[in-house]
Amino acid sequence: GAGVSQTPSNKVTEKGKYVELRCDPISGHTALYWYRQSLGQGPEFLIYFQGTGAADDSGLPNDRFFAVRPEGSVSTLKIQRTERGDSAVYLCASSTAGGPTYTDTQYFGPGTRLTVL
Amino acid sequence: DQQVKQNSPSLSVQEGRISILNCDYTNSMFDYFLWYKKYPAEGPTFLISISSIKDKNEDGRFTVFLNKSAKHLSLHIVPSQPGDSAVYFCAASGGNQGGKLIFGQGTELSVKP
């Protein structure tokens, strides 16, 4: 079956611009996660959705970052007034349940490489 | 603070030999641990996991060992193959961290023919 897909695969933008990154989870997965991976580092948690609601957004670095999942499937990560320090690979993952049943395997998409000039 | 640490950024092993990748953690509340493998330009791929109630889990050539008292886990790959060359991340979850994964920095494994 189809895995997690993310679009675009690459995004180059200028400092101060607004960007949207999209994630299509595996069909039927209720849990969706966003992570950010900087060069030479492991993925860093940003936000977790259970269905349509954000169950944990403790990893969002500041209020320029926002994510939605209006119908409990596709999610969009939105970054306002981008800064050079936002340059990273943004990874999306989904799992069947998430939350208390955190032993469910998280399946990752290929990521979106964001470059802020 | 780095709750999950992989202190070796790289490891080189000869084909057919054992690869041992190490990971340390500081949060004693973690109770589920995973290893992911990552090729360039791809997302991390789940490899193997272990619950804190166990000290060993084996899947084919891959075995994960957990030493709770030392807050240390390791991944053994035997025998190593050139196709195993990738970046390996350990991750932890559970306790006060809920379902999110806390990753280490990664170890780049190179298996030479």
Mean pLDDT, chain B, rounded, equals 94
What pLDDT is stored for residue B36 in this prediction? 97
Nearest beta carbon to residue A56 from set B89, B100, B106: B100
Nearest chain B alpha carbon to A103 = B32
Whether the CB of B88 is below 8 Å from some CB of chain A: the reply is no
Distance of alpha carbon B53 from its chain centroid, rounded? 17
- Asked whether the predicted pLDDT for residue A100 surpasses 60, the reply is no
* Cβ-based contacts of A110 with chain B (< 8 Å): 41-43
* Cβ-based contacts of B7 with chain A (< 8 Å): none
Surface of B (21-60) touching A: CB under 8 A: 32, 34, 36, 41-46, 49, 51
List chain B pLDDT tens, one digit each, 113 residues: 789 999 999 999 999 999 999 999 999 989 899 999 999 989 999 999 999 999 999 999 999 999 999 999 999 999 999 999 999 999 999 877 767 899 999 999 999 99
* Cβ-based contacts of B23 with chain A (< 8 Å): none
**Mean pLDDT in residue range A6-18:** 97
- Asked whether the predicted pLDDT for residue A22 surpasses 90, the reply is yes
Give the pair of three-digit tokens for residue A42: 């492991």
Percent above pLDDT 90 for chain A: 81
- Asked whether the predicted pLDDT for residue A71 surpasses 80, the reply is yes
- Asked whether the predicted pLDDT for residue A93 surpasses 90, the reply is yes
What pLDDT is stored for residue A98 in this prediction? 60
What pLDDT is stored for residue A102 in this prediction? 59
Interchain pair B43, A106: CB under 8 A: no
The CA-to-CA distance between both ends of chain A, in Å, stands at 37
Interchain pair A108, B93: CB under 8 A: no
Nearest beta carbon to residue A91 from set B6, B43, B51: B43
What pLDDT is stored for residue B79 in this prediction? 98
Nearest Cα to Cα of residue B14 among B62, B81, B106? B81
What are the angstrom distances between the C-alpha of A112 and each of A65, A77, B30, B85, B86?
Answer: 15, 11, 29, 23, 19
Q: What CA–CA distance (Å, rounded) separates B52 from B41?
A: 32
Q: Compute the nearest-CA separation of A82 from chain B (Å).
A: 23
> Residue A51 class from Cβ within 10 Å (0-12 exposed, 13-18 middle, 19+ buried)?
middle
Nearest beta carbon to residue B44 from set A43, A95, A100: A43
- Asked whether the predicted pLDDT for residue A101 surpasses 70, the reply is no
Give the pair of three-digit tokens for residue B78: 């035997």
The one-letter code for the residue type at B93 is S
Interchain pair B51, A103: CB under 8 A: yes
What pLDDT is stored for residue A35 in this prediction? 98
* Cβ-based contacts of B41 with chain A (< 8 Å): 110
